[in-house]
Amino acid sequence: MIGWWQSLTLARRSGAILLTLIVLTALLGPILVTDPVSQDLGRVLRSPSLAQPLGTDHLGRSMLARLVHALQLSFSLAVLSVLSAAIIGISLGLLAAWRGGIIEAVLTSIADAVMTLPVLLVVLLFSAFAQGEFWSLYIGLSFALWVEYFRVSRASIKATLVSAAVESARMLGFDRLYLLRRHLLPALAPVVVTLMLFGISSAILALAALGFVGVGLRPPTPELGVMMIELFPYYEEAPWLIASPVVTLGLIMLALALLGGRKEMP
Amino acid sequence: MLNILRHLLLRRCLQAGIVALLVSTVCFFLMHSLSGDLAFRIAAGRYGYDMVTTAAAEAVRAELGLDRPLLQGLLFWWQQLLQFDLGDSYLTSAPVIEEIREQFGHTLQLAISALALSIVIALPVGLIAGLNPHGWLDRVSLALSVVLRAFPPFLLGILLILLLSSKLGITNAANASHEHGGLLLPALTLALGLAAVSSRVARDAMVEVRRSAYFNFARTKGLSDLLALLRHGVRNAAVPVIAYLGVQLVFLMEGVIIIESLFAWPGIGHALAHAVFGRDIPMIQGTAIVMGLLFVLCNTLVDIACLVADPRQRYLATRRADT
């Protein structure tokens, strides 16, 4: 563990620390703070104080409570859809690489087409099925994200299948499950982890962007994008209110980008 | 060269066809998942709520093939698509094609201004930063690019509105719609996001060029730094920047959807978000297909531009096509 930590660059370390803090807030926050939807119309647009560290919004709701609930929502949706996308993508990639032939051709051309469409467009299409519902966003995100795992796993498994190690394991009579567990998946794991980080960041982003445009989750759900558009009209009177979801989303993106170590950012 | 082009175009055309079919299929199921009787709903959109009769609904049902079983309905839906018939909008009952033609110009204007602006910002910054790696400009531009990249387009848009319009009073946010020529803010928003990456790509390419033998030779034979840069540097540094534009197109496309909605820019992305909000399925299908096809087209153009700018790729592609 310590050795792994020391092998990281400074950027990755700071990304990891930042992300851990944010995830801890998302996990523990909702237990500690009050209800995010209870209104107190006598105390609207209050500036930050000891009782309300981030102030109250235009309906007198606690900003801190709304923010931590929004964080929890974003992360759970993102992790859920990325996990489903990875499982579906890797299984189909395995199927395509192992079977080949017509199955592979059909799957590859579908993946090619989905890959062509921007993630946001696909999620937007699916969100029209049941606007403002959690499940339509979840299905849209999974459908947009599975292709990356499919392409990567198909390429990696194809390469591993023809390697000398797999060939000898086959000759020794090991079954398919063993090959999968000991040869195919370990070769795949590092790439998939990186892909998942990017997937989580684009899922969180798509959720917030759709909420912001007004076709994602609906008020009064505490969600980052929805909060931004709700608080946007009040930026003259209460700039700190719009600042908190904006800064939060910026920090999440920054943490994931630093941890993922994008190539274009040495 | 022609051979490669044909290969490339064929592959991209196939891809475009599948994209259109895929989007169309999703829209078909979307249509069938709506609650209520669809024929009545469409008839209401066309003739007004007072004029809806059973006869009108039946006429619509027969015309759009809504009375067919699901699979047959899907084939009918595809057939309409293949005849380039995108139908009429449920909300305005104008042909979708007409509406899209109107919006498309606005989107194109925004996208091209953003691209041009991003290149104007990114190329000089990247090239100068690359001339002196780890100098102060390099460090500052790296930090700026990391932060800018972390902010998605709509956050950048909000920040720009807050900074420029409310604090400095340069443009009023209320004026940032197309009628008042408020192209600057939406284009700048997209351009900053694009430039964040392009400037780093240009910088890395520039560092690479300066390390190369041909650049050193140009310097040795007596060309000045500037002349060597113009003659040998820019073109070589341009190849990765162009190639990266392909990757950046995703950003641009997603940005257009969000930024148009934020600034009420009457383009195709705004129309798509609006159509999703109003459950206007022909409009959803039309705008999504056009965006998908546009994306394929842009990627094809980037491929061709790379081939033109870089003779080495032409050579490699010829060898690939031969084998």
The enclosing domain of B156 has a CATH number of 1.10.3720.10
For an interface test with A, give the residue of B11, B22, B165 to mutate (most A CBs within 10 A): B22
Q: Which residues of A touch B276 (CB under 8 A)?
A: 124-125, 127-128, 131, 215
* Number of domains observed in the structure of chain B: 2
Label residue A265 by pLDDT band (50, 70, 90): very low
Label residue B36 by pLDDT band (50, 70, 90): low
Alpha carbons B236 and B201: distance in angstroms, whole number? 12
Q: Tokens in use for B148?
A: 């800018």
Query: In terms of domains, do B149 and B258 share one?
Result: yes
Label residue A87 by pLDDT band (50, 70, 90): very high
Which region among A4-13, A66-75, A130-139, B278-287 has the lowest average model confidence (pLDDT)?
A4-13
Query: In terms of domains, do B171 and B291 share one?
Result: yes
Q: Compute the average pLDDT of residues A149-169.
A: 83
Domain boundary among B83, B112, B133: B83
- Asked whether this complex has an ipTM greater than 0.90, the answer is no
Distance from CA of A99 to the nearest CA of B (A): 22
Check if B257 contacts A (Cβ < 8 Å).
Answer: yes
Q: What are phi and psi of B24, to 5 degrees?
A: -65, -40
| DSSP-assigned letters across all residues of B194-219 | HHHHHHHHHHHHHHHHHHSHHHHHHH
Query: In terms of domains, do B36 and B103 share one?
Result: no
Position A97 pLDDT exceeds 50: yes
- A143 neighbors A126 (Cβ within 8 angstroms): yes
Give domain status of residue B90, yes or no. Answer: no
Label residue B178 by pLDDT band (50, 70, 90): very low
- A142 neighbors A229 (Cβ within 8 angstroms): no
Q: What is the pLDDT of residues B92-131, one digit of tens each?
A: 777 878 888 888 888 888 888 888 888 888 888 888 888 7
Alpha carbons B101 and B94: distance in angstroms, whole number? 12
Domain boundary among B52, B83, B114: B83
For residue B88, what is the DSSP state? Answer: B
State the pTM of this model: 0.78
* Cβ–Cβ gap B292/A212 under 8 Å: no
Which region among A39-43, B171-175, B304-308 has the lowest average model confidence (pLDDT)?
B171-175
User: From the list A117, A126, A265, which residue is nearest B19 (CB)?
Assistant: A117
Q: Which residue type is seen at B61? A: R
Position A84 pLDDT exceeds 90: yes
Label residue A50 by pLDDT band (50, 70, 90): low
Q: What is the pLDDT of residues B196-248, one digit of tens each?
A: 888 888 888 888 888 888 888 888 888 777 777 777 777 777 777 777 777 77
- A66 neighbors A57 (Cβ within 8 angstroms): yes
Give domain status of residue B305, yes or no. Answer: yes
Which residue segment(s) compose the domain that B295 sits in?
Answer: 96-322
Percent pLDDT > 90 in chain A is: 5
Q: Which residue type is seen at B252? A: L
Q: How many CB atoms lie within 10 A of CB B261?
A: 25
Give domain status of residue B88, yes or no. Answer: no
Give domain status of residue B209, yes or no. Answer: yes
- Predicted confidence at residue B314, as pLDDT, reads 67
Can you give the C-alpha Rg of chain A in angstroms? Answer: 22
Query: In terms of domains, do B64 and B116 share one?
Result: no
Cα B111 to Cα A103, B80, B133, B250, distances in angstroms: 38, 30, 31, 12
Greatest mean pLDDT range, A141-145, B1-5, B124-128, B236-240 = A141-145
- Predicted confidence at residue B177, as pLDDT, reads 46
Position A35 pLDDT exceeds 80: no
Which region among A14-18, A35-39, A256-260, B83-87 has the lowest average model confidence (pLDDT)?
A35-39
Residue A28, CB-side half-sphere exposure with 13 Å CA sphere: 6
- Predicted confidence at residue A246, as pLDDT, reads 84
3-state secondary structure A84-147: HHHHHHHHHHHHHHHHCHHHHHHHHHHHHHHHHCCHHHHHHHHHCCCCCCHHHHHHHHHHHHHH
Alpha carbons B286 and B96: distance in angstroms, whole number? 7
- Predicted confidence at residue A81, as pLDDT, reads 92
Query: In terms of domains, do B29 and B115 share one?
Result: no
- Predicted confidence at residue A79, as pLDDT, reads 92
Task: Please list, in sequence order, all residues whose beta carbon lies within 8 angstroms of the beta carbon of residue B241, skipping any fewer than 6 positions away.
Answer: B122, B123, B126, B198, B201, B202, B205
Q: What is the pLDDT of residues A239-251, one digit of tens each?
A: 777 788 888 888 8
* Cβ–Cβ gap A121/B254 under 8 Å: yes
- Predicted confidence at residue B313, as pLDDT, reads 66
Q: Which residue type is seen at B101? A: R
Nearest CA in chain B to A254: B150
Task: Please list, in sequence order, all residues whose beta carbon lies within 8 angstroms of the beta carbon of residue B272, skipping any fewer than 6 positions away.
Answer: A121, A124, B257, B283, B284, B287, B288, B291
Position B77 pLDDT exceeds 90: no
Higher pLDDT, A6 or B273: B273
Nearest CA in chain B to A119: B254
Measured in whole angstroms, the distance separating CA B172 from the mean position of its chain's CA atoms is 27
- Predicted confidence at residue B126, as pLDDT, reads 84
Domain boundary among B83, B112, B146: B83
* Cβ–Cβ gap B152/A253 under 8 Å: yes
Alpha carbons A258 and B192: distance in angstroms, whole number? 19
Query: In terms of domains, do B164 and B30 share one?
Result: no
Q: Compute the average pLDDT of residues A83-104.
A: 88
- Predicted confidence at residue B74, as pLDDT, reads 78
Domains in chain A (CATH in brackets) are: 10-31+58-260 (1.10.3720.10)
Query: In terms of domains, do B29 and B152 share one?
Result: no
